Structure 1
């Protein structure tokens, strides 16, 4: 992940939004890999990554909501 996004070991939502909006999508999407062909280790890594991303998103949403409520 880009260093600019991380500040004090937490994700900066403004920089993250900027980074994601300026990401270039690949011209040719990758072909999906059937789950049967993935090893158990790969599946476990993917699940951990997805859960990590979900946690980061929920943290950003919570911070966003608390900022709005304080005003």
Structure 2
């Protein structure tokens, strides 16, 4: 018996909760990325390209936009 089985952390209910949380976060992360693109000072062509990438290949698009698409020197005003 493994540690996860003895503690009950490998139960099917826990796995389903984890999958449900990922499924709920998926559209939220996409919406945050799209809103960030729309509000950015990028050229319209760049905005369109990033939006298409995020919509067509979501997980890779989210990660690539957050890693390289955002301008690190951008200032945020509240």
TM bucket by the smaller chain?
A: 0.3 to 0.5
Structure 1 or 2: more helix by fraction: 2
Higher relative contact order (CA 8 A, sep 6+): 1
TM-score, normalising length: structure 2 = 0.37
TM-score, normalising length: structure 1 = 0.40
Query: Considering only CA atoms, is the larger Rg found in Structure 1 or Structure 2?
Result: 2
